[in-house]
């Protein structure tokens, strides 16, 4: 029998407002969706963050972000080299380029004296992320990684409870990421992360380096020592295509009307993933007509392709098993094509356990209860936070980056490049283990 303790509701809607010494001036490198989100902090708090330059080879995207933040036309750059020719014009850079460009663009920024807020993953190989770590140390610059889930109130409160010893030492962590059918088909089948060659990263590193980072963060500095993994691509393959299906939903598919992956249903009727899907017709204006959208899906828009007949090679399921230096273990399961998207978590300690689903907005703490007629006590911790922008973490991360750059007290969530390396080594090691069917021993980093 469980004894239920009255749930506590924590108000996490508004982060504490820091007193900044001066406005942090930043340049945006890569004017895509993630950069737009992080830069939006400056629109709400212009006294804390100011965008002073934008770098992107796409003139439309470059000027769109620049106009939004009042950036002068002469501070819109088509290349990083052009920016650097003008000398150091800001305190820091927000690097939102694609995965394969993260390290090549960050190295010259570090050399030029910029601190960096870098979108995850850090890089696309173990070797290059270690090169970036060395460069950050050599140039004495701050590099903070956009592992925004550390800043989501759900995970931040769990990490706080663990630091307080509420379940004592962690013995096992079980995490899972359920990627919805519409997200999977948009980003990891039809989209730019559908193949490692195009996107630069594996499915695990593109989607779950957040989770690998959370696992190492929850273990509070105890390094992982080895990892193994298995998985593969089971569903989105040509041999699984329904009988009679075509190659493009709106061009030659007679079963489109009853298909769960119809491009018309996902991108027109439900208007999902527009920042990805309409990238190829941005030149038509900020609001293309429905007919223009339909025509693009009929012809050359990659999001109009049949999900079973695309050029994708990303796995749609993968399991990871991890061992830490103290003998504890962890597992992570990536599942694509689920009905409901969610992240699950179950942490077992020597004196209790914590479990929950982030999207539910609460987690449960249990402790053994050996009183007669009892088995355990249970407390639910509810978090009053909206579930947009990675559980409310995106803008809290930017706030902490400003603190970090100013040398102010860092929060429990602060994600320096050194803190983030182990999570990436786990991901790269897991992919290698899956390919070769082995356990992979992980490097121990110097502090």
pTM to 2 decimals? 0.87
Q: What is the pLDDT of residues 206-228, one digit of tens each?
A: 999 999 999 999 998 799 999 99
Q: What is the pLDDT of residues 12-28, one digit of tens each?
A: 444 444 444 589 999 99
Q: What is the pLDDT of residues 187-200, one digit of tens each?
A: 999 998 999 888 88
Fold annotation for 16-146 = Rossmann fold (3.40.50)
Per-residue pLDDT band for 11 (boundaries 50, 70, 90) equals: low
Per-residue pLDDT band for 388 (boundaries 50, 70, 90) equals: low
Q: What HEC string does the chain produce?
A: CEEEEEEEEEECCCCCCCCCCCCEEEEEECCCHHHHHHHHHHHHCCCCEEEEEEECCCHHHHHHHHHHHCCCHHHEECCHHHHHHCCCCCCEEEECCCHHHHHHHHHHHHHCCCEEEECCCCCCCHHHHHHHHHHHHHCCCCEEECCHHHHCHHHHHHHHHHHCCCCCCEEEEEEEEEEEHHHHHHHHHHCCCCCHHHHCCCHHHHHHHHHHHHHHHHCCCCCEEEEEEEEECCCCCHHHCCCCCCCEHHHHCCCHHHCCCCHHHHHHHCCCCHHHHCHHHHHHCCCCCHHHHHHHHHCCCHHHECCCCCCCCCCCEEEEEEEECCCCEEEEEEEEEECCCEEEEEEEECCCEEEEEHHHCEEEEEEECCCCCCCEEEEEEEEECCCHHHHHCHHHHHHHHHHHHCCCCCCCCCCEHHHHHHHHHHHHHHHHHHHHCCCEECCCCCC
Tell me what percent of the residues of the chain surpass a pLDDT of 90: 81
Question: Does position 86 have pLDDT exceeding 60, yes or no?
Answer: yes
Per-residue pLDDT band for 328 (boundaries 50, 70, 90) equals: very high
**Higher-pLDDT residue of 269, 413:** 269
Per-residue pLDDT band for 1 (boundaries 50, 70, 90) equals: low
Per-residue pLDDT band for 283 (boundaries 50, 70, 90) equals: confident
Q: What is the pLDDT of residue 18?
A: 43
What mean pLDDT do residues 28-49 have?
95
Q: What is the pLDDT of residues 164-174, one digit of tens each?
A: 999 999 999 99
Mean model confidence pLDDT for the chain: 91
Question: Any idea where the domains of the chain sit in the sequence?
Answer: 16-146, 149-237+312-390+414-441, 240-304
Question: Does position 33 have pLDDT exceeding 60, yes or no?
Answer: yes
What mean pLDDT do residues 364-379 have?
96
Give the range among 33-37, 119-123, 302-306, 389-393 with minimum mean pLDDT: 389-393
Give the range among 27-31, 152-156, 283-287 with minimum mean pLDDT: 283-287
Q: What is the pLDDT of residue 155?
A: 93
Question: Does position 73 have pLDDT exceeding 70, yes or no?
Answer: yes
Question: Does position 266 have pLDDT exceeding 50, yes or no?
Answer: yes
Q: What is the pLDDT of residue 258?
A: 96
Q: What is the pLDDT of residue 10?
A: 57
Homologous superfamily of 149-237+312-390+414-441: Dihydrodipicolinate Reductase; domain 2 (3.30.360.10)
Q: What is the pLDDT of residue 334?
A: 98
């Amino acid at each position: 029998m469980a004894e239920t303790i009255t749930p506590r509701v924590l108000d996490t809607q508004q982060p504490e407002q820091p007193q900044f010494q001066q406005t942090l001036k930043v340049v945006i490198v890569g004017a895509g969706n993630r950069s737009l989100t992080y830069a939006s902090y400056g629109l709400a708090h212009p006294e804390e963050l100011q965008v002073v330059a934008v770098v992107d080879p796409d003139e439309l995207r470059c000027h769109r972000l620049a106009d939004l933040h009042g950036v002068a036309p002469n501070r819109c750059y088509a290349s990083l080299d052009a920016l650097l020719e003008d000398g150091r014009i800001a305190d820091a850079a927000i690097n939102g380029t694609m995965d394969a460009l993260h390290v090549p663009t960050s190295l010259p920024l570090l050399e030029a004296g910029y601190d960096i807020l870098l979108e995850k993953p850090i890089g696309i190989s173990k070797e290059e992320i270690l090169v970036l770590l060395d460069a950050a140390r050599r140039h004495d610059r701050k590099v903070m990684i956009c592992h925004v889930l550390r800043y989501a109130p759900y995970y931040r409160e769990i990490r706080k409870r663990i630091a307080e010893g509420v379940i004592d030492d962690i013995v096992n962590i079980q995490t899972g990421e359920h990627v919805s059918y519409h997200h999977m088909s948009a980003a990891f089948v039809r989209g730019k992360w559908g193949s490692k060659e195009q996107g630069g990263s594996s499915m695990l590193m593109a989607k779950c380096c957040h989770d690998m980072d959370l696992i190492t963060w929850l273990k509070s500095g105890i390094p992982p020592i080895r990892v193994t993994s298995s998985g593969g691509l089971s569903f989105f393959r040509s041999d699984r295509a329904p009988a009679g299906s075509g190659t493009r939903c709106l061009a030659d598919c007679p079963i489109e009307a009853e298909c769960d992956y119809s491009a018309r249903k996902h991108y027109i009727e439900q208007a999902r993933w527009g920042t990805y899907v309409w990238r190829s017709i941005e030149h038509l204006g900020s609001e293309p007509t429905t007919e223009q959208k339909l025509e693009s899906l009929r012809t050359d828009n990659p999001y109009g392709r049949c999900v079973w007949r695309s050029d994708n090679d990303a796995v749609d399921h993968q399991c990871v098993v991890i061992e830490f230096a103290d003998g504890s273990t962890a597992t992570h399961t990536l599942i694509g094509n689920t009905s409901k998207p969610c992240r699950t978590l179950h942490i077992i300690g020597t004196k209790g356990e914590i479990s929950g689903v982030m999207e539910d907005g609460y987690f449960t703490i249990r402790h053994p209860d050996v009183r007669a007629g009892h088995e355990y006590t249970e407390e639910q911790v509810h978090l009053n936070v909206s579930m947009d922008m990675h559980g409310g973490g995106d803008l809290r991360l930017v706030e902490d980056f400003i603190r970090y750059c100013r040398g102010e007290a860092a929060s429990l969530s602060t994600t320096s490049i050194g803190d983030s390396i182990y999570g990436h080594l786990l991901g790269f090691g897991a992919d290698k283990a899956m390919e070769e069917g082995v356990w992979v021993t992980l490097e121990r980093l110097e502090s």
